[in-house]
Amino acid sequence: MPIPDNITREYILKAIQQINERGIPNHYQSSTYDLIFNGLRYPPKLVFSYANYFGNGVKLSHKEFHGGADTECFSILKSNGFEIVSKEMNLAIDLDHFLKQAQTNDLKTQFYARKYQGLAVEISFGQGAIAQIPWISFLYPGQVTSNGIYPVYLLFKEYNKLILAYCVSETKKPKLNWNLGKEVETVKSYFSKTGVVPQRYGQSYVFKVYDTSTTLDYVSMEDDLRQIIQEYKQLMGATPMEKTESINFSIDVLSRDLQQTGLLFEDRLLNRFVTALLAKPFVILTGLAGAGKTKLAQVFAQWICEKAEQMCIVPVGADWTNREALLGYPNALNEGEYVLPDNGVLNLLIEANKPENAGKPYILILDEMNLSHVERYFADFLSVMESQDRISLHPETEIWKGCKVPGQVGLPANLFIVGTVNIDETTYMFSPKVLDRANVIEFRVTSEEMKRFLEHKTPIDLNNIRGKGAGMGKAFVEMAKNKKWQLKENKNLTDTLLDFFNKLKKVGAEFGYRSASEIYAFVAIANQLIPDWPENEVIDAVIMQKLLPKLHGSQRKLEGALRTLGELCLNEGQDIEDYFVKDKVIEKVKYPLSLDKLVRMYKGVGNNGFVSYAEA
């Protein structure tokens, strides 16, 4: 049945009001998406069905039309100003809604599903149910009955107490016991101090108690919830993430988790790094020594990987002249035997290639990547990145049948490679072949960042972040596998790329079709992943990462080109002399990141007679 196109915001608001008054009928609860209005969640298809009734006098059956991303139903709801989100639990929204509903006198037994950290979330207001109190539980599907233990929020509203607890089921004899390894008290013991007899769940163990008569700190509460869920997962035997629902990837969560480690990375840098990995899984981090290049790669890997075996950090040696340091070699003295490298790179590749691991991210970090000629030891990787072919390791003949190392290995879509670079007299420059295949992200430290570091210096503890983003690993890999990112027509981006292409061509540093495609992929991913990232900031990032890195040469070759490129970074009416000669503070220009780099290169080529994008 065709969907009517006369649904207005007025009809949608009436639909929401009806749901508020009558509740959600059986079988009409959404499974994947929610419509958000005034902090509450509603099934989008039910809202649309009711809205059609108010607009056209007919209720649409949920079987008569489709809901979901890119459907006409969702397009109409969004065009009328309503937000539609996935059913991943938003603690601030859902818990606030839960508390408001659970503290009323008109409670009904109500279950509705959410997802959080790879677990199924079940919520009940408890009236008439055996629990007799409102609760929210977090569990692996089906395991609430088979194991009888799980994390839970318990609301004792008459005492203004919300308890986050290690739940022990009162209806199912637990097959497992909480292995807490620390002193904890039961809910019963907690309340006994006040002379109160707890209503149900007295044998569960208290993790944290929140006073609901005060304003709750949801950010802190989410940290608590993640910790108890992590303990639950470990107790359950670290159930593989691919057996649970994947959590949507969120840079905001990564940024918040990073704050717990003591590391300081600005959001714009995180945006560039993550988006670059998704657009092309080969990123080079260059810039100031000691600015956190290796730490960013390491902490991201630890955050998103479920197990340590999914990441490998390799210090590049100064004597690497071929691929053996990374891929090992067949033993010439004992045919049929393969010598594996001690650094674990080949093991990482083999694991990443296994079908059962296709949904897990694997991350290879090459530290000080340019201590040796990259084109020599990394040649096989560079070739396979583009050909999608496989690297041959040994002949697949009869004598090799017993070898545990496969004859060939590929670079699967779930493998991400990060190289760090320092520039000094002991290192080598990258060739255009390498730079063209990577996003190059430069690290700088501003005076404000240094001031913040000196004033708020805290010990760095990467254990605070280990595995916190593992539930998002599958979604991250799926985004990286998607090669059909669609970017809406963007005249600003197209005109900018053509302008830079024509100017770069004059110094032999123009870009090809591959770079152009990767730039468009980067912008499309940025638009979806970080919708509030300003367009000019996104374009500024791709100029820095994909267009400028190949610039190097003499003063005679580059001096004029750097000025011309700098002019492309300005708004109409601004004078390049203000920045290249008069040292005006770079602000309120079109592409400040790129202009700052071009100014530094211009001064460098004037002082030294030669300049390169990469600098110490």
**Shortest CA distance to 265 belongs to which of 223, 222, 295?**
295
The closest alpha carbon to 338, from 394, 396, 261, belongs to 394
- Which uninterrupted H or E stretch holds 228? helix 218-235
- Total domains in the chain come to 4
The answer to whether residue 328 is domain-embedded is yes
How much is the pLDDT for 245? 44
Tell me: do 334 and 353 sit in the same domain.
Answer: yes
pLDDT of 130: 44
Three-state DSSP state, 392: strand
- Same domain? For 178 and 231 the reply is yes
Q: Which of 87, 116, 131 is the last residue of a domain?
A: 87
In a domain, 287, yes or no: yes
pTM over 0.75: no
CA distance 248 to 471: 8
Q: Do 155 and 204 share a domain, yes or no?
A: yes
Same domain? For 6 and 151 the reply is no
- Note down the domain range covering 233: 88-239
CATH of the domain at 159: 3.30.920.90
The answer to whether 59 and 65 are in contact (CB under 8 A) is: no
Helix (H) or strand (E) holding 596: helix 592-608
For the stretch 21-37, pLDDT in tens is 887 775 566 767 888 88
Cα distances (angstroms) measured from residue 288 to each of 149, 445, 462, 550, 615: 50, 8, 22, 18, 8
Residue 22 lies inside a defined structural domain of this protein: yes
| CA pair distance 264, 260, nearest whole angstrom | 10
Last residue of a domain, one of 481, 511, 538: 481
In a domain, 217, yes or no: yes
Same domain, 134 and 183: yes
117 and 207 together in one domain: yes
**Which value, to the nearest 10 degrees, does the dihedral of the CA atoms of residues 99, 101, 106, 108 take?**
-100
What are the structure tokens assigned to 307, written together?
Answer: 């197990």
Question: Are 163 and 97 within one domain?
Answer: yes
Return the half-sphere exposure (C-beta side, CA atoms, 13 A cut-off) of residue 6: 7
Domain boundary (87, 122, 142) is at: 87
Within-domain flag for 323: yes
The reply to whether 196 and 289 lie within a common domain is no
Is there a domain that residue 592 lies in?
yes
Handedness of CA 570, 571, 572, 575 (dihedral sign): negative
Distance CA 367, CA 418 (A): 8
Q: Any idea what DSSP says for residue 588?
A: S
What the block records as the tokens of 442 is 């430069």
120 in the same domain as 134: yes
Residue written as token pair 């972040």:
465
Q: Are 75 and 5 in contact (CB under 8 A)?
A: no
pLDDT in tens, 462-494: 766 788 888 889 989 999 988 777 677 788 999
* pLDDT per residue as tens digits for the range 212-253: 999 898 888 988 998 898 888 877 764 433 333 456 788 878
Query: In which residue ranges of the chain is pLDDT below 50?
Result: 111, 128-131, 238-245
d(CA 233, CA 467): 11
